[in-house]
Chain A
């Protein structure tokens, strides 16, 4: 059995939909004349932390909205947890979670009321809610503050509460849209620890960000630019491969050590030059 894992059957050219958390082929979205997403392909394996990077307006938020079934693509296929999201976006909704950079919490409700609300939206049974509520309060460090208004929490607490609310129904796949923007570095580090815990429990994480040092925390990355994916791989693969690509060597001909950010800046610059030509 282990043998076959190393030698995939020859007629399977691409990873099949069922064994990956996300499988996207030829995904395209146009808004009028503007093509926001232009025929992209990628796969995310189960249990993976997948970083989705790109400057503002590159199409990453549009892609995420298509993946969550919020908007429909013009063409292409999306399989999430084995289900065809384009054909029936409702099927998978109970199994995915979403956390936005706005945190989506009701500031005039208490911690408890926010959790109760999202539990109700996901139709969580009462006993399940008791269990999950205890877990989330523990995780977010909000034990004893259940009755506090969300508005009174600092950004770091809100962020963790939002994560708790987004995972109250124990999703298999969690989408995070720039979850750490506006959060101080300490809280951001703490937040990533929580994400690793989730990944450790087998939850697949799809994270968009424009913090480059955050990107290195991900198992695998995709760079999006002008509606296309211009690089994909593990942070290390991307660094090595694209530094070679760009020919970034020092005087003695050795590859220069570069950060992910360097690679990203160079790739985008190159794309812009090509587009200008």
Chain B
């Protein structure tokens, strides 16, 4: 019995590898493209903001204010695009994309400093560029701390061009675990998850639909092969490839981008196993419901690609997306895995801190595989 099962499963797995060997495009799509994506995202879509275009408005005009603004000029983080003469010009500078940050030194700055009081500075940030804004803000704080503790910064974070939105907050932002805010550190653990999700869901979704189109699914239904064997054997090669991907991305991250790996590799691997399982289950569900290869591809993109990018915490913090979408994000496994991946890589977190995510991921994968089996059973009965 066992031997026969083994023979059937290995026949299918061998055939799957033969398909992959025969079609180098698949292999390229699965092994080379992720590396390209990794490079592309890490460089081109770098979230490192340096040389934030900045304008300055010196309403004080003292040597103290000039010295203060000089720190911005000499910093790599800011690129001073010019001086402006009044607050209204800030709007213009933002609208023309001349600047994303405006530093305003109000009258009396030099006098306050001379008296030993806290002096006020306004920093206005263009909120339509959230990443630049956030980082511009952080850099300003850092800069001010370096310059003098006596400078009180007042913030105006501009959403669009609404000038009434002047905040009166004094942020003291410190970035832990990634103090340089090197985006590769932040990106690569997340990107690993996104890439695995795309590769596994897409490939599984298509591989079973193809079998159906060929008529080989029908052929296998007549054979002693059982559905769970077929599903398991079809997923095997993709699971292996997904793990190869993960290891390659991790190695590139560690040795090329110098991303730290502070936590347990074992814990990361176990979690990744659950995650791959969950993603493959999603792919199976797609292949059970998709009427054709084309629709399987499209659904796979909808289910894997978009949520992996937008609803996983990869590109935007989940707290910053609308509550409805936050709810939707729980439907996709990437959000759990990204927390685990970043936790293990950057924080050195392990089971004690991350068990809730692991439990959710485990429950999720069981649910998805069960649902896929039910859908397949129903399809087969037709």
B19 touches A104 (CB 8 A): no
Asked whether A96 and B18 contact (CB < 8 A) given A104-B214, A106-B214, the answer is no
A109 within 8 A of B: yes
Please state if B222 and A106 are interface contacts (CB–CB under 8 Å): no
| Any B CB within 8 A of the CB of A51 | no
Q: Does A103 reach chain B (CB closer than 8 Å)?
A: yes
Nearest opposing residue in chain B for A120, CB measure:
B11
User: Is the CB of B179 closer than 8 A to any CB of chain A?
Assistant: no
- B19 interface neighbour in A68, A98, A103, A109, Cβ under 8 Å: A109
Residues of A in contact, count (CB < 8 Å) = 34
B15 and A113 contact, CB distance less than 8 A:
yes
- Answer whether A123 and B224 are a contact pair too, CB < 8 Å, given A102-B214, A104-B218: yes
Of A96, A122, A149, the most chain B CB neighbours within 10 A belong to A122
Size class of the contact patch on chain B: 20 to 34
Q: Is the interface of B mostly helix, strand, loop or mixed?
A: helix
Q: B31 in the interface, Cβ–Cβ < 8 Å? A: no
- Rounded to whole angstroms, the CA-CA distance of A101 and B218 in the bound complex is 11
Contacts A104-B215, A106-B214, A108-B19 given; does A121 touch B225 at CB 8 Å: yes
Contacts of A93 in B (CB 8 A): 222-224
| With known contacts A106-B214, A113-B15, A116-B11, A121–B223 Cβ distance under 8 A | yes
Asked if A119 is at the interface of the complex by the 8 Å CB criterion, the answer is yes
Contact B10 A121, beta carbon cutoff 8 Å: no
CB <8 Å contact, B215 and A121: no
B172 to chain A minimum Cβ distance, whole angstroms, is 61
Task: Report yes or no: A70 in contact with B380, Cβ–Cβ below 8 A.
Answer: yes
* CB of B115 within 8 Å of the partner chain: no
Q: B381 within 8 Å of A by Cβ?
A: yes
Q: Give A110's nearest chain B residue, CB to CB.
A: B18
CB <8 Å contact, A117 and B381:
no
| A69 in the interface (beta carbon within 8 A) | yes
* B187-226 interface code vs A (CB 8 A; 1 in, 0 out): 0000000000000000000000000001110111111111
Which chain B residues in 1-18 approach chain A with CB under 8 Å?
3-4, 7-8, 10-12, 14-15, 18
A71 touches B381 (CB 8 A): yes
Residues on the B chain within 8 Å of A109, using CB:
15, 18-19, 22
Interface core residue of A97, A109, A120, A166 (most chain B CB under 10 Å): A120
Please name the residue on chain A nearest to B9 by beta carbon: A120
Question: In chain A, what residue has the closest Cβ to B23?
Answer: A108
A residues lining the B interface (CB < 8 Å):
31, 68-72, 90, 93-94, 96-98, 100-109, 113, 116-123, 149, 166, 175
26 pairs of residues in contact across A and B, judged by CB atoms under 8 Å: A31-B382, A71-B381, A71-B382, A93-B222, A94-B224, A98-B222, A100-B218, A101-B215, A103-B215, A104-B216, A104-B219, A108-B22, A113-B18, A116-B11, A116-B14, A118-B11, A118-B223, A120-B14, A121-B12, A121-B224, A121-B225, A122-B223, A122-B224, A123-B3, A149-B22, A175-B222
Q: Which 8 A-B pairs have the closest CB atoms?
A: A120-B11, A102-B215, A104-B219, A98-B222, A123-B4, A123-B7, A93-B224, A108-B22
Given contacts A68-B221, A98-B222, A122-B223, 11 further A-B pairs with CB under 8 A are A68-B222, A98-B223, A100-B218, A109-B22, A113-B15, A117-B14, A121-B7, A121-B8, A121-B224, A123-B3, A166-B219
